[in-house]
Amino acid sequence: MIQIDKPGRRHLLAGAATATAIRPARASTYPDRPVRIIVPFAPGGATDLAARVLQPQLAEAFGQPLVIENRTGAAGNVGMEAAARAAADGYTLFLGNVGTLAVNPAIFARTIRVRPSVDFAAVSLVSETPDALVAHPSAPFNTVAELVAYARANPGKINYGSPGAGSLNRLEMELLRELGGGLDMVHVPYPGGAGPAVTACVAGDVHGLFVTLSSAVGQVQAGRLKALAVTTASRTPGMPDVPTMAESGYPAFVASSWQGLVAPAATPAEIIQRWHHALATVLRNTDIGRRFAAAATMAVASDSPAQFAEFIRREQHRWGELVQRSGATAE
C-alpha cells in the first residue's frame, strides 16, 4: 500500500535538474523579449490560476511581458509536448501539474511522447491545491464511511465523475476503491478539466467525485454540493468542518494537486536559477499568498530546482504504482 504525501518542503529531496552551460553574453541580456509560459489546460482551472496570479510580478521581475498560452488537449499532453519541443533558450517554459508531470507518463504509457524527467529541467514547485471528495446533496451518503458502505451493498450503483480518464482525481477514486476493498463503482469521465465534471455533479448526473477544492468550494458553500472529506494531511482553513480522508478511516490517503514550472531540458543552468530565484521571491509576497488563499490554493516554492526534480520523480513513482495496480487506462 502506498502513502500519497503532500508536496510540502519536507518531501522535496535533493536531485539534479538537467541544464547546460550558458554563454556570459547571453546571460547578461536575458530576457530581451517576451517570455512564453505554456499552460496545458483551459482558463479557469488551478494551473491557469497559478499562471495568472504570478504573471504580473514575474513580468516586472524580468522586465519583459510574460505571455500565457493555453495549449489544451489529451489531458495536457498537447501543451506539454509543445513545451518540450520548444527551443531551450529560456523563452518558453511550461507550467504543469501533478497530472501532466507525474500521472500522464504512467497512464498514457503507450502513447505519450514526452518523458518529463528527461525532457524538462525542473525550476520550482509553485502551488498546492487540496482536493476534496464531494457529492450531490441527494446522494445517499454524507460521509466517506457511508459512501463505502453504500458501494459495498450496491455494487455498480454509484457513478463518479472525473476531469478525464487519465486525471489525478480519477486515480484518487481508484485509490479509494482499492482501500475500500475493491469497490464496484462506475467511472464517468468529463474531458476538459474540472469544470464540466463539477457541473455534472451539481446537475445530479453523477453521485460524486474527487476534485480540486478551488473548483468546488463555491458550489459547496452555495449548498449545491456537499463535501465529504479533503485529501490533505490536515483540515483546510476554508472548510474547517470537513474531515480529512485520514480522519475518515483511511490514514494512507493523503494527496493534493500541485503545480510546478519546468523548462525544456537543455535550457541554460543560469536561466533556470534566475527563474527559481524570481519565483521564490514572488511566492513569498503576502499579496500573492492572499490571492492563492482566496482560491483555496497555497503558494509553495521548492528550495532548489534539484529538489523539485527529485520530487517529480517521487510523484511519478507513487502514482505509477497505483496505475499498475488498478489497471487504470486513459481510455
For residue 315, the 8-state DSSP code is: H
- pLDDT value for 17: 40
- The angle that helices 168-179 and 305-326 make with each other, rounded to 10 degrees, is 50
Query: Which tens digit of pLDDT belongs to each residue from 254-295?
Result: 998 999 999 999 999 999 999 999 999 999 999 999 999 888
- pLDDT value for 163: 84
| C-alpha closest to that of 276 among 165, 124, 147, 138 | 124
Q: 164 pLDDT band (50/70/90 cuts)?
A: confident
Distance of alpha carbon 309 from alpha carbon 38, whole angstroms: 19
Whole-model pTM: value is 0.83
How much is the average pLDDT of 144-170? 94
CATH of 130-230, picked from 3.40.190.10, 3.40.50.2300, 2.40.50.140, 3.30.9.10, is 3.40.190.10
CATH of 9-129+256-326, picked from 1.10.1740.10, 1.10.260.40, 3.40.190.150, 3.10.20.30, is 3.40.190.150
Q: Residue 233 is placed in which grid cell?
A: 494531511
Q: Look at phi and psi of residue 117 and say left if phi exceeds 0, alpha if psi is from -120 to 50, else beta.
A: alpha
Query: Which tens digit of pLDDT belongs to each residue from 48-99?
Result: 999 999 999 999 999 999 999 999 988 899 999 999 999 999 999 999 999 9
DSSP 254-304: --EEEEEEEEETTSBHHHHHHHHHHHHHHHT-HHHHHHHHHTT-EE---SS
CATH 3.40.190.150 segments of the chain: 9-129+256-326
- pLDDT value for 194: 82
CATH 3.40.190.10 segments of the chain: 130-230
Q: 331 pLDDT band (50/70/90 cuts)?
A: low
Q: 123 pLDDT band (50/70/90 cuts)?
A: very high
β 298-299/208-212 pair status: unpaired
Length of the chain: 331
- Block residue for cell numbers 476534485: 211
**Lowest-confidence pick of 8-12, 39-43, 133-137:** 8-12
| C-alpha closest to that of 159 among 193, 192, 203 | 203
Instruction: List all residues 6 or more positions away from 56 whose beta carbon is below 8 Å from its beta carbon.
Output: none
